[in-house]
Amino acid sequence: MKEINSLSKNLTGFLFLFIIFMMLTFPFNIQEVIAGAFAALLVSLFFNRMFAFFSFKEPLFFSLFNLFAYLVFLLFEILKANIQVAKIVLSPKIKITPAIVSCETTLKSDFAKSILANSITLTPGTLTMDIIGEKVYVHCIDIKDTSKENVYKSIVKPFEDKIKRFAI
């Protein structure tokens, strides 16, 4: 079973690197495809321990599709948060209630937790300060209700639900 898991990680790493290479060299010919496949194969074989951090769910195709859907969702959330922060900044009287809040996450892998932390930080008005175990500490520029349930529902849960679709 460990050999199959290692083969799966190598294949995931190879596909990931090969797709990135092809996207960077779009008007490509056969020599570039062969060179990209060879380079992706070498890197995925030599650095397969690094790809253990990237824990996608199986099958890989659905995980990559859900990852793309997550990126679209993240861009929408960033846009929405930018508008909210712009309203706060441009208002004549700044009525904000900044707070540092903590809440629990149900994500298990370090990969999923780092995606969650980076996603929260990317949305304007929030900053992930630390993740200790299952607790996520977030600084919010304006939060009305600091109860754990509200913080979880408004900040962590929307990202967490989408991350669970593609990451372990």
* Residue 32 domain-assigned (yes or no): yes
What global pTM score does this model have?
Answer: 0.71
Q: Within this chain, do residues 71 and 145 fall inside the same structural domain, yes or no? A: yes
* Statement to judge: residues 125 and 76 lie in one domain: yes
In a domain, 168, yes or no: no
Chain segment 99-140, per-residue pLDDT in tens: 899 989 999 888 889 999 999 999 988 999 999 999 999 999
Q: Which helix (H) or strand (E) holds 113?
A: helix 110-122
Same domain, 48 and 83: no
> Do 31 and 109 belong to one domain?
no
Express each pLDDT in 88-101 by its tens digit: 889 888 888 898 99
Q: Give, as one character, the DSSP assignment of residue 56.
A: B
pLDDT tens digits along 2-29:
444 566 667 777 888 888 888 888 787 8
- CA–CA separation, 105 and 156 (whole Å): 7
Containing 79, the helix (H) or strand (E) segment is helix 60-90
Cis check for the bond before 59: say yes or no (omega within 30 of 0): yes
